[in-house]
Amino acid sequence: MESGKNLKAVLLSLVLMLAASTNGTLACDAGVELLITEFMALNDGTLIDEDSGYSDWIEIYNPCLPSVDLGGWYLTDDALNLTKWQFPSQSLERGEFLLVFASGKDRAVAGSQLHANFKLDSDGEYLALVKPDGTTVAQEFAPVYPPQLVDVSYGLPQTNLDLVSLGADTTYRVPSVADSGIGTLWAGPTWNDSGWDLGSSGLGYTVSGTVAFDATFIKANVNVSNLATAEGVIADPITQAYTVSEVAQVINYKNTGGSGRFGNDAPYPSTTIGQDVNDFVLLATASVLIPSAGQWTFGVNSDDGFGLELSRPPHVFAMSYPGTRGAADTLAVFDIPEPGAYDLRLVNFDRSGGSSVELFAAQGSHGSYNGNFKLVGDTANGGLALGSIGAQIGTDVQSVMQGVNPSIWSRIDFTVADPGPLGLLTLRMSYEDGYVAYLNGTEVAGSNAPSPVFWDSVSLVDRPVEDAGTYETVDLTDDLHLLVPGTNVLALQGLNEDVADEDFLILAELDAAEDTVDTGSGSFFVTATPRNYNNAGYPGVSGVPIFSHSSGSFLAP
């Protein structure tokens, strides 16, 4: 954001236009491969990057092709230099979004946070996405995009439909031997399920409760002095001297140095407290349950640096201290959009000297450490829970399923007014242990399930319960032809590994997006949606009001 013009006062006085542009092109029919669908040139508090800064950002979207290799593509803010910043080689699947921070930091490592070597000008400038030949402009905002506003994004209007969401009305039945002869007829649109039980998705139960962090200690054979090097060590076994893994209920590690904010320090895996080990990386992952939407402050006390990412697709939150330091706090406030399970990934590294790391969180917005913070995973003292599937369960089916049948059937009705304009269909599944999904009676997806599947089938293997906290995304675009105008049915068979298994979950979300993307005009989005679909937005904003008289009191008109 090269311009320092502060437009917050302008934002307060905006009169947003009521109509959005409706002229669109069929993006896939027009041969579109990738698009810049949204960007923000005055990021004052919307999205935080890995350096705990609020950098400008650009969103890339694949609307059509099954997969696109970004290697060799370019972003530029200079019409005379189309190859200004090059993407690394990594795949972007159909329906996926990718963020590039326009920070000027020039970071292009596949699998890591991407940073272009330029910043966006809030007064308006040229912006383009260029194909790998370095000369063909795939898309451009030209000659310049309009002046931008604080924490208001700009881009292409889109239409996205939430067809099936968490908590959707569902009918369900635990089948018995009497149902053994009906095959998959129960999954069809005309099946009479009036005698089935009623509930809300997802269906499940849990007895085993919480799980722990998976923590891996990696001794490096290179100097680890920053976060980028630490990520490189994780990705490249050649740089690893040895690795040791363990499970941990909390992240509260120490070798040498200060004790941080919490007592009862544990030694890093394979080490003892007081042992000075240098040049190592700790990778800790877990699923963390956030019980309510709104602001949550996450904190890391580390020696040396760290990187933290919290994600629940399409939402991703990140914070970091990328260099070396003595034990100190870094805090970040995340605006959590919805309750549920979020994937957590923490990378801690040490170059030399003392080493320690603690991970903690508190509800609300906090500018410094206080007594509200609890170690993540320390549920006995009020900390956020790990890995339990309980928060995703809308209907508890333990009494009708556990000890009765490892399989359950469910049906969810949803409405599509007109499937014709749809160009993308995405299924997101959270499950323990396996599932098969049907769309209007046709099998469209499945995982960890035998083929064919029967009324009393079990899953192929016992899936780790912590994996149920992570949504798996399935591209069903090739199955769009199965949708009909009016009522449709998403049917699911959930499978447990054993009839007596202590955990079970089957939860589905189904989204669709229209094939029409208006590439000919842009819209302002008062609520930005990084890594997610845009709404119609507003094609323009009014200027700053001009008054014909100075303010004050008047006795006459």
Tens of pLDDT, residue by residue over 310-354, are 987 767 888 999 999 999 999 998 888 777 778 899 999 999 988
Tens of pLDDT, residue by residue over 104-127, are 999 999 888 899 999 999 999 999
Tens of pLDDT, residue by residue over 20-49, are 333 345 456 667 789 999 999 999 878 778
Per-residue pLDDT band for 14 (boundaries 50, 70, 90) equals: very low
- Report for 130-134, 268-272, 465-469: range of highest mean pLDDT: 130-134
CA–CA dist 459, 237 (Å, integer): 33
Tens of pLDDT, residue by residue over 185-220, are 999 999 999 999 999 999 999 886 556 888 999 999
Tell me the domains of the chain and their CATH numbers.
1-157+518-546 (2.60.40), 162-205+392-513 (2.60.120.260), 213-386 (2.60.120.1560)
CA–CA dist 230, 520 (Å, integer): 42
CA–CA dist 78, 334 (Å, integer): 33
Tens of pLDDT, residue by residue over 488-526, are 999 999 999 999 999 999 999 999 988 766 666 789 998
SS3 string of 16-83?
A: ECCCCCCCCEECCCCCCCCEEEEEECCCCCCCCCCCCCCCEEEEEECCCCCEEECCCCEEECCCCCCC
Residue range 230-247: average pLDDT?
A: 94
Give residue 556's pLDDT: 55
Tens of pLDDT, residue by residue over 466-479, are 678 667 889 999 99
Give residue 251's pLDDT: 96
Q: Is the pLDDT of residue 546 over 60?
A: no
Give residue 190's pLDDT: 96
Degrees, nearest 5: CA angle 47-51-55: 40
Lowest-confidence segment of 50-54, 235-239, 552-556 by average pLDDT: 552-556
Q: Is the pLDDT of residue 19 over 70?
A: no
Q: Does residue 163 contact residue 510 with C-beta atoms inside 8 Å? A: yes
Give residue 415's pLDDT: 97
